[in-house]
Amino acid sequence: MFPHVFRHPGFFSLSLLMAGTPALAGDADPSLTLPRWKELAGGVAFARVEATRYCRLGSVGIAVVRLDPTRCRLEPYHELEFSDQATILDWEARLKAPVVLNAGLYDTNRRHLGTLRRQGRDLGGSRHVSWKGVLALDPREAGLPPAALLDLSSPEDIALETKYATAVQSMMLFDRKGDIRVRRTDRIARRSAVALDRQGRILLLVTEGAYTLWDTGALLRESGWDLVQALALDGGNEASLIVESNGVRYRSFENDRSGSDVATLVTLPAILAVRLSNAPARRP
């Protein structure tokens, strides 16, 4: 989605990156129903849950993919690496990935807003000075967690980002202290997000109904799933997810209630794709 649509030091341990307990964790009154996970492949699971509050319009269903980064990979790709533009269906066919998700906002020149790199390769993104969240993957040094959500308001996390070969920058929804880091507005849209739980697993989420950004942060903070941090990715028609593996078939756009066939109308400059092995990143 174009951004204007929103209007609205040394050794770092896993415990440091996941320090703090989110406020209002919501264990007694969770905002999301308990997921029933379906294994897609080693380290990858899928569930469709429902929101118990915060949805402003449409379906309360939410699709979730949970990844164990020690057993699979999550990689960003950009259309500059290929010969033409692609819808999310085209991306799935192109990469033959079991999970494909829009990577985030982009400008009118189709350049990803924020840092975007894979295995040290710059994918044409531009550093966003206001966005303080980074999904960091593929550590360059031993002893670092395989995946981290970094807070660029922290000098320690800024230094840590250079120690990861893969990075996707976006807006922080809530931080490791549990503070929601987006403004309250009345602007609603379907939302996609990435979160990290206390076990170090990555969760990719796409809502079927419409939420404000603040609502999305509260929804995930109060999920009852032991999430420690979350970033927003995109909103509106571009907030798309495809899952196809081990008998599971899910397309977020098929749950769109607007009546539009967004899968054939919207092309996505950048996506996140799940790889089922921890082998080196695929080169287009």
Q: How far apart are CA 232 and CA 190, in angstroms?
A: 11
The burial of 129, by beta-carbon neighbours within 10 Å (0-12 exposed, 13-18 middle, 19 or more buried), is given as: exposed
Residue 207 bridge partners (DSSP): 62
- pLDDT per residue over 8-35, tens digit each? 233 333 333 333 334 344 457 999 999 9
The pLDDT profile of the chain, 284 residues, written as one tens digit per residue, is 544 333 223 333 333 333 333 434 445 799 999 999 999 999 999 999 999 999 999 999 999 999 999 999 999 999 999 989 999 999 999 999 999 999 999 999 999 999 999 999 999 888 888 889 999 999 999 999 999 999 999 999 999 999 999 999 999 999 999 999 999 999 999 999 999 999 999 999 999 999 999 999 999 999 999 999 999 999 988 899 999 999 999 999 886 554 445 555 789 999 999 998 654 444 44
Left if phi > 0, otherwise alpha if psi is -120 to 50, otherwise beta: which for 257?
alpha
Cβ atoms within 10 Å, residue 246? 13
Cβ atoms within 10 Å, residue 50? 13
**β-sheet with 241-245: strand ranges across:** 73-78, 270-275, 99-102, 241-245, 248-251
- Per-residue confidence (pLDDT) for residue 67, from 0 to 100: 98
The burial of 279, by beta-carbon neighbours within 10 Å (0-12 exposed, 13-18 middle, 19 or more buried), is given as: exposed
- pLDDT per residue over 97-139, tens digit each? 999 999 999 999 999 999 999 999 999 888 888 889 999 999 9
Longest Cα–Cα distance in the chain = 52
Q: Phi, psi at residue 213, to the nearest 5°?
A: -65, -45
First to last CA, the chain: 24
Q: How far apart are CA 45 and CA 68, in angstroms?
A: 9
- What's the alpha-carbon Rg for the chain, to the nearest Å? 17
Q: Cβ distance 260 to 236 under 8 Å?
A: no
CA distances from 164 to 97, 233, 273, 284 (A): 23, 20, 18, 21
